[in-house]
Every structure is written in structure tokens, then in C-alpha cells.
Structure 1
Amino acid sequence: MDSDRIKGAGKEIKGNVKEAFGELTGDRSTEIDGKTEQVAGKIQRKYGETKDDVRDALDDVDDANDLNDPAVRSRP
């Protein structure tokens, strides 16, 4: 799992808490900061997910190439 996924999820949670605190206290600035942090976290999390997907796809291609390579297939 990519570290950006974990960091992004953490930012989303932190932003959610900050937004709720802003709503509770009536502090519109804190509320907006929280929403902004949530969006930044979501982008970072999605970026990490995409990196994982690309890494998995490249591993699949590499595995398929190994199956088609006679030198690799003949290994025990």
C-alpha cells in the first residue's frame, strides 16, 4: 500500500474533524480550512491508489512477459 493513501486518508479525517469543529463553534474560517484539507487528502489518497494500480498493472505485464520468455519458463 502506498504511503500517499495512508497520509491522504489521515488528512481527510483531520479535515473532517476541523470542519465539524468549525461548524460547532461557528468559525467559518476553520470550517473552510477543514473542507480544504479534506479535498487535499482525497486527492493525495487517490494519487496513492493510482500509483498502486499502475504498480500492479506493471507487475502483471512483467509476470506475463516471464511466462512468454522460454529462458524463464524452463527454470524450476
Structure 2
Amino acid sequence: MNKNQVKGRAKEAKGKVKEVAGKVTGNESMEHKGKAEKHGGKAEAKYGDIKSDVKKATQ
């Protein structure tokens, strides 16, 4: 795993926690921020996956 994969998955998990906390408390702002963070984390993790695949393919 490279650092983008790790950071992305951590952000994804943190965003999911915020999203759920927002739903539970009825705080729509927190819920939306959590969703945004979760999707940003997914994107970073995907970038890390692609980066890893390219590195493996060029070795």
C-alpha cells in the first residue's frame, strides 16, 4: 500500500463516521461534510490504487 491508499481509506472512514453522526444527531451540515470527506477519501484511495498498478506494470 502506498501513502495515498492509506490516507484515502482513513479519510473515507472518518467521513463515514461524520456522516452517520450527522444522521443520528439530525445535523444535516455534518452529514453533508461527512459525505464529501468520504467521497474525497475514495478518490484519493483510487488514485493510490492506480498509482500502485502503474508502478507494478512498469517494473
TM norm structure 2 = 0.98
Where relative contact order (Cα < 8 A, 6+ residues apart) is larger, the structure is 2
1:2-21 matches, cutoff 5 A: 2-21=2-21
Q: 2-side partners of 1:17 and 1:35: how far apart?
A: 9
In structure 1, the residue matched to 2:53 is 53
Q: Deviations over 1:1-42 (max 9, x none)?
A: 210000000000000000000001000000000000000000
User: Runs of 5+ in structure 2 lacking a partner?
Assistant: none
Which has more radius of gyration? 1
Structure 1 runs (4+) deviating above 6 angstroms are none
Q: Partner amino acid for 1:11?
A: K
Q: 2:40 & 2:6 partners in 1: Cα distance?
A: 13
Identical columns (%): 46
- In structure 1, the gaps of 5 or more residues are 60-76
